[in-house]
Structure 1
Amino acid sequence: MNPRQSPPARTPTAIDAVAEAYFRCVLELTPELATSLGVPGHESRYSDHSPAGTLERATAMRTALAALDGLEPVDAVDAITLDAMGERLGMELEFLATGITELNNIECPLQGIRGIFDLMPTETAEDWEHIADRLANVDMAIGGYIQSLRTSRGLGHVAAARQVRSAIGQSLDYARDGGFFDALAAGARIDGAAPTAPLRERLATGAAAAARSYRGLARFLDVELLPVAPSKDAVGREYYELCSRRFLGAGVDLDEAYAWGVGELERIIAEQELVAGRILPGASIAEAKALLNADPARRLKGTDALRDWMQEKSDRAIADLADTHFEIPEPMRRLECMIAPTREGVVYYSVPSDDFSRPGRMWWSVPAGEDEFTTWAETSTVYHEGVPGHHLQYGTATHLRGSLNGWRRHACWVSGHGEGWALYAERLMLELGYLDDPGDHLGMLDMQRMRAARVVFDIGMHLELPMPAGWGGGAWEPERGRDFLASHLDTTPGLLEFEFVRYLGWPGQAPSYKIGQRQWEQIRDACRAAEGPAFDLKAFHTRALGIGSVGLDTLRRALLPPS
């Protein structure tokens, strides 16, 4: 098949029909997903974040699982769908049964209700009407979330005080005068001109109402949750194991993973020391970084320069890798690099629309006050988010409309698979020669070091394991944990604090990157061993990415012959 063309269509099966019916239900119950995919008809609504909405989503999952019961796969695609839906829906039902409503500083309804506006089109008057409609519905979405947080509290589940305080700060920042909602309404433009007076008024009214809703959320958190929030951050082994399986789609021996993380961290540091010596013989890692930071050729001034550099790097990667190391169909050869409207210090990817009319996008959320950037530290991030990372991964699944059902292409996302692939992609770019520059190599290792350090921190802190002897021994405690992270995460104090709070409030997610990478490498090596001289790396990548995002156990079963 010519990779620039769409793959041949596959005849849908009974299992596909169940998956498609469930996917349509997911779009109805999760309008934000429809917006992210560019599916029309859901532009103004929000998910129901109340307990009733949670019950409705759980009912949809049980209905889908019941419909699959007794169906036999007719081909390998069916077998993977059956495996993946059983694992993913079953896992989510198990999590919902805990009665816990999540609250943290990075991924919960608090951020999602605001964040969906980043993905809404802004070209036409109709686009801005949709934004005005959704602004008017923020209050209902926030109200449902508060109901769920109250229900969770009644069951004895309240996020740690550190997370509640962080959520209060985020809510107030979104709601401040001149903040996100005010700026969104004031920035409305249609063909370079301001909208009509009635639309401007609707936008301003909606923005003010949305800001009030977030201030109300902050009051609720401060008055009703913070006084009963536990001071202890660790969630314990039982809940952590559940979260780990949820993010990996696989069960792992957490004690073994902890020990492996310690060893991996030490290995990466040793490799960094060798690379530092390439930058300047005898230099320490810190000295090598200082030299790189002082190099004017490796510095960017301003967010426009950052965006242009990201775009140039990603465009070159696509041009170089297409048709050689990867199959990159024509619609996927466009990737837009963007500066995000928020200031949260993260880099992320947003998926293309189903027809690729809106391309995949790489977003950089630059913290307030930051205006200078070092390219050596960020080159591997471009490959992580773009090609061969998330853009290749998401784009491939989106492009396979003729062979994969909608749920497989758009609604199944597993962190260990997706983020594991992106870390695998970073290391692969070193193997392919794109990080031969010792500065870029050191930057990639810095990112890998961060991911290894958070395996150790995340598992050790939440399971309350002993700290490694090489890092001081004794019990993991938050302040000692922050110091540990500071020694391995080369970042600003603000971003260090954000990451520290993130790991404490989103147990099991951060380790899924490095553990996922490890499993991707293990699966590849097992395929190479099984196929011998016939093994072809490009063919392996094509086959693996063609499966879409699934749990890592499902991926292993799909790619490896039964043992």
Structure 2
Amino acid sequence: MNGATPPRRQEQAPEASAASAAERTPTAVDACAEEHFERWLALHPDEATILGRSGVETEYADYSPAGREAVAALNRETLAALEELEPADAVDEVTVHALRERLGLELELHATGRTELNNLASVPQEVRMVPELMPQSSPQDFAHLAGRLQNLPAALEGWWESLLASRAAGHVPAARQIRAVIEQSRSYAAADGALSTFVDAARQAGVDDAAVTAVRAGAAAAAAGYERLADRLAEDLLPTAPQADAVGVEHYRLASRVFTGTELDLEETYRWGLEELESIVARQRKVAERIRPGADVAEARRILDADPARRLEGTEALQDWMQRRSDEAVAALSGAHFDIPAPMDVLECRIAPTQDGGVYYTGPSDDFSRPGRMWWSVPPEDTSFTTWAETTTVYHEGVPGHHLQIGTATLVKDRLNSWRRHGCHVSGFAEGWALYAEQLMDELGFLADAGDELGMLDMQRMRAARVVFDIGVHCGFEAPEALGGGVWTPEQGREFLREHLPISEAQQEFEFVRYLGWPGQAPSYKVGQRVFEQLRAERRAAEGEAFDLPAFHTELLQLGMVGLDTLRLAVGPRDGASPGAR
């Protein structure tokens, strides 16, 4: 398919094609990006493990203030080096734009002195997830695992130092988030907690007693590290923590740019979120009528929930259903709508060892020896699941969502440097694509069943509600009249989410705390989807009957993950306009 690289801004020979793009010779800009990424990985050995690299199997990054400053120094050096380089082609133009945008934002964040703490994406959760992605078969594998678990407390220790430095700079996380991380840390350290699963894995692998003992000792050391962290958070940080959750407009603008790669008009986006939510609810009412004439949305959900053909009992049944649905999607889409070559056609679906309530994707190793994986973290009280509500989640996390997006970037080594493939992370692109993928599957007829369509709309509705909740609460905007108006309060937010998030009580609580502690991230899904849909409409209008949707998707996915301004630079209207000017 055409579109292996973004359009050039200078004259291009007519014979330039996808084939020639595949033979692209690395440039000086690529060398700069590669050097940056290699130096960054040296500072983040746990990320090297996620990529499947060997040689640093037991180490973690330095999360202390000194470690954070080392990363900032690297970013400054790379930005200075870029000033001496000229892009050689369109790929370079995108790389330079993305590097300047991402590294510049990281330096702005670093300058604030803040250390983030929340219930989903801060250091305590991230360092625990790394061992899950390590090989767990041979005695050597478990020796590495034991070593990393032994080193986990030091990673938490460095992070604690950064939390104290953040407090000294005047930034203490909200009390609600601290309490959540205390609870998580104690749950990880419990005798039957997430850390205990590594000992179980060693036993089940049949390795010798010495290897099992080493893993048990490592898990015990990690558990002690989490217990110590929980005690410190409770005794030293919680008493000084603010009760207010909102971060205010100034910090929210910065956080929003980090997650989207663009400067949002927050008031316009808030109004748009309310309009989008209203539109989705209206569409749901029409689908409910298809399920049973005269039924409202709530009744339609009850009818679907009562259908035994749409119900799964237990996590084993959930995992089996996820895998089957995922495999069917790969088979149906490959060749017809997307290019899904081996080894990208393998996606593993697993139940996560944690019980927090989230669903997430982890990418393949760089050589695909470890495949991409979809994980479902099931709260202990959730034992029954409905397929109509979850089909769209499989498409979001798997194919054509995150797995296709991340897997494609991993695969195109012949045209993108390593930083573009693995080092550039933007939620607005990744989550925007995954939400776009859900809607696309409806357009392609994969959600023709009224129940599956209602489930997809439930998830779209949830993401639209998050735009409203997240921006409204953190920026102090006016709450809808239906909630009593006035400046948003967390209590209004909880009521609002309860109305629009059709998930279990345990999942609702997790999501409620997540949005309050991770400002700017939740709206990036809908914001990114909006941009993907705008770009498709613009390209279709410009090309008319020549527009090729599968080729357009290939062009998007072969960019890697970039900010939304950079995305517009790469694939927006080809009129030479600057990013963000359209």
Shorter-chain-normalised TM-score: which range?
Answer: over 0.9
| Paired residues of 2:483 and 2:492 also in contact (CA < 8 A) | no
Residue 177 (structure 1) shift: 2.2
Q: Which amino acid aligns with 1:276?
A: A
- Report the 3-state secondary structure (helix = DSSP H, G, I; strand = E; otherwise coil) of the residue aligned with 2:441: helix
Give secondary structure in 2 for the equivalent of 1:363. strand
Correspondent of 1:244 among 230, 244, 256 = 256
1:211 equivalent in alignment to 2:223:
yes
Deviation at 1:197, TM superposition (A): 2.8
Deviation at 1:34, TM superposition (A): 1.1
Task: Pick the aligned partner of 1:464 from 476, 492, 504.
Answer: 476
1:219 alignment partner, SS class: helix
Moved more, 488-497 or 232-241: 488-497
Mapped to 2, the partners of 1:199 and 1:132 lie a distance apart of 8
Counterpart of 2:16 in structure 1 is none
Give the deviation of 1:7 after TM superposition.
Answer: 8.0
Kindly provide the amino acid, as one letter, of the partner of residue 167 in structure 2.
R
Task: Spell out, residue by residue over 1:348-401, the C-alpha distance to the aligned partner (whole angstroms, 9 max, x if none).
Answer: 111011111211111111111322110000000000011110011001101100
2:343 is aligned to: 331
Match of 1:115 among 108, 124, 129: 129
User: 1:102 aligned to 2:116?
Assistant: yes
User: Does structure 1 retain, via aligned residues, the 8 Å contact 2:304–2:388?
Assistant: yes
- Equivalent in the alignment of 1:41: 55
Partner of 2:485: 473
2:407 is aligned, of 391, 395, 402, to 395
Structure 2 CA distance for aligned equivalents of residues 475 and 8 of structure 1:
53
RMSD: 1.5
Distance 1:170 1:508, change over 3 A: same
2:558 aligned partner: 546
Structure 1 ranges of 4+ moved more than 4 A: none
Following superposition, the deviation at residue 71 of structure 1 comes to 0.7
Q: 423, 426, 431: which one pairs with 1:419?
A: 431
Residue by residue over 1:1-27, the C-alpha shift from the partner in whole angstroms, topping out at 9 and shown as x without a partner, is: 799x99834211100001111111121
Instruction: Identify the residue that residue 259 of structure 1 maps to in structure 2.
Output: 271
Residues 299-352 of structure 1, C-alpha deviations (whole Å, 9 max, x = no match): 111212111111111111111111111111221111111111111111111101
Alignment match, 1:166:
180
Count, aligned residues: 560
Q: Does residue 92 in structure 1 map to residue 114 in structure 2?
A: no
Is the CA contact 2:44–2:60 (under 8 Å) kept in the aligned structure 1?
yes
Partner residue in 2 for 1:448: 460
The Cα of 1:475 is off from its aligned counterpart by 2.1
State the secondary structure of the residue aligned to 2:500: coil
Query: Match for residue 77 of structure 1?
Result: 91
1:264 touches 1:452 (CA, 8 Å); kept in 2? yes
- The reply to whether residue 483 of structure 1 matches residue 495 of structure 2 is yes
Q: Please list the CA deviations of residues 482-520 of structure 1 after superposition, one character each: whole Å capped at 9, or x if unmatched.
A: 011101011111111111110000000000001111111
Give yes or no for contact 2:202–2:211 (8 Å, CA) kept in 1: no
Answer yes or no: is the 8 Å Cα contact 1:383–1:389 preserved in 2. Answer: yes
**Match in the other structure for 1:505:** 517
Question: Residues 111-190 of structure 1 correspond to what in structure 2 (within 5 A)?
Answer: 111-189=125-203
**Structure 1: gaps of 5 or more residues:** none
| Counterpart residue number, 1:198 | 210
Residue aligned with 1:349, SS:
strand
Amino acid at match of 1:419: E
Return the alpha-carbon distance in structure 2 between the equivalents of residues 445 and 19 of structure 1: 40
Q: For the Cα contact (< 8 Å) 1:6–1:399, is it kept in 2? A: no
Q: 2:410 & 2:27 partners in 1: Cα distance?
A: 19
Identify which range, 80-89 or 7-16, moves more after superposition: 7-16
Between 403-412 and 467-476, the greater mean CA deviation after superposition: 467-476
Measured after TM superposition, the shift of residue 532 of structure 1 is 2.4
Q: 2:458·2:502 contact (CA, 8 Å) conserved in 1? A: yes
Deviations 1:265-320 (A, max 9, x none): 11110000000000000001111011100101101112121111111111111111
Question: Is the 8 Å Cα contact of residues 62 and 68 (structure 2) preserved in structure 1?
Answer: yes
SS at match of 2:312: strand
Q: Output the CA distance in 1 between the equivalents of 2:353 and 2:482.
A: 41
For 2:285, what is the secondary structure of its paired residue?
helix
Residue type matched to 1:90 in 2?
Answer: G
Q: Distance in 2 between matches of 1:216 and 1:189?
A: 27
In 1: Cα distance, 2:410 partner to 2:271 partner: 37
Paired residue secondary structure (2:559): coil
Q: Tell me if the contact between 1:186 and 1:204 (Cα under 8 Å) persists in the aligned partners.
A: no
Q: Among all aligned residue pairs of Structure 1 and Structure 2, give the percentage whose two residues are the same amino acid.
A: 58
| In 2: Cα distance, 1:6 partner to 1:312 partner | 38
Partner of 1:278: 290
1:179-232 alpha-carbon deviations (Å, 9 max, x no partner): 222332243147x42x32332222222111111111110111111111110011
Unmatched segments (≥5 aa) in structure 2: 5-18, 578-582
8 Å CA contact 2:197, 2:353 repeated in 1 = no
Structure 1 SS opposite 2:112: coil
Could you tell me which residue of structure 2 aligns to residue 300 of structure 1? 312
Q: Which amino acid counterpart does residue 187 of structure 1 have in structure 2?
A: A
TM-superposed deviation, 1:554 = 0.2
- Give, in whole Å, the separation in 1 of the partners of 2:482 and 2:529: 24
Matched to 1:60, the amino acid is: L
